[in-house]
Amino acid sequence: MTSVACIGECMIELKQAAGGLYARGYGGDTLNTAVYLARLGVATDYVTALGDDAMSDEMVAGWQAEGIGTGRVQRLAGKLPGLYMIQTDARGERRFFHWRDSAAARSLMELPQTDELLASLAGDKVVYLSAITLSLYGEEGRAKLFDALRRARAGGTRIAFDTNFRARGWPDLEDARRVYKEMFAITDIALASTEDMLPLYPGASETDLLARIPSPETVLKLATPACIVRAEGRELTVKAKPLAQAVVDTTAAGDSFAAAYLAARHRGAPPVEAAQAGHRLAGVVVCYPGAIVPRGAMPANVGEAEDERSRKT
């Protein structure tokens, strides 16, 4: 049994480099989370579709080198992965440009092997996906996915959902609100943020946003370096520690937070400690360009509680 199955899309990433040039890598919200989960010692599979091209080969090899399971990656003849470009401003805030309308990942719910692939989710401890994942598929594809998630959840699999919102993926906000509501109803762990939720519900307070999420365990990341954790009958604010370095690129801040949170919960940490772990990893990731930081930059003992870490120093 795999601990976590991450469903989504990985794309070719072009990030700014010196002299107006761009460096090529790859990334995508749920793939970024899968990489950080694997680096934190959690058995993780990635569930997606790729082409049969050399860049897709490179992606799969890179995931395997990170320790991510690729047995459920579908390879489609004649298809290609999507592509995105990151531009960052002086504060490290990012802007994305996408070329992905015909990417292989969009076909995942339309393949001859789709039913078997979805049935396999019942063998995972946690299934993790995002709103970007949901935006890839049409109405029929989402219905298939939701049915599979309900069946897996009925068998004991926990569903984790990240509210990661990209307006380009949701041209009809009413449609987006309906899909989010349906997804929240089958979610055990909701990883939300005011940045994602306010475009859907302009002017809503933090209390209003939390009220729209019925999931039993919810994290709402705030505009300030903090989050609200609602779980186990309590609602607490968890602040992040000040950064020791300057912010370079906020790409994958939320993705790495999700990975550290889920990894900590996997090892039995309570939700507040898991949120602290999320803040610690995200605080490192934003100090490096691109979605995936060098392996040597990964902080030690990121999933441990503060008191446990202090005893070792």
d(CA 105, CA 43): 22
Q: How far apart are CA 271 and CA 188, in angstroms?
A: 13
Cβ of 24: how many Cβ atoms within 10 Å? 12
For residues 77 and 56, is the Cβ–Cβ distance under 8 A? no
**pTM for this predicted structure:** 0.93
What is the per-residue pLDDT across 107-121, written as a single tens digit (0 to 9) for each?
999 999 999 999 999
SS3 content of the chain, % helix, strand, coil (to 5): 40, 25, 35
Alpha-carbon gap, residue 184 to 279, rounded angstroms: 23
Q: Write the DSSP symbol of residue 106.
A: G
Of residues 304, 249, 240, the one with CA closest to residue 41: 304
DSSP 272-288: HHHHHHHHHHHHHHTTS
**What mean pLDDT is predicted for residues 160-175?**
96
Average pLDDT over residues 85-106: 82
Q: Regarding predicted confidence, which is higher, 14 or 276?
A: 276
CA-closest candidate to residue 155, choices 178, 106, 121, 108: 121
Distances (CA, A) of 299 to 43, 171, 242, 285, 308: 19, 39, 15, 10, 15
Q: For residue 228, give the H/E element and its range.
A: strand 226-231
Q: Are 292 and 25 in contact (CB under 8 A)?
A: yes
Query: Where in the sequence numbering do the catalytic residues fall?
Result: 255
What pLDDT is stored for residue 307 in this prediction? 44
Q: Select from 3.30.2130.10, 3.40.1190.20, 3.30.460.80, 3.30.70.380 the CATH code of 4-8+31-48+108-311.
A: 3.40.1190.20
Per-residue pLDDT at 312 exceeds 60: no
Tens digit of pLDDT for each residue in 216-270?
A: 999 999 999 999 999 989 999 999 999 988 998 888 999 999 999 999 999 999 9
Residue ranges of alpha helices (H) inside 53-172 are 54-65, 114-119, 131-136, 139-154
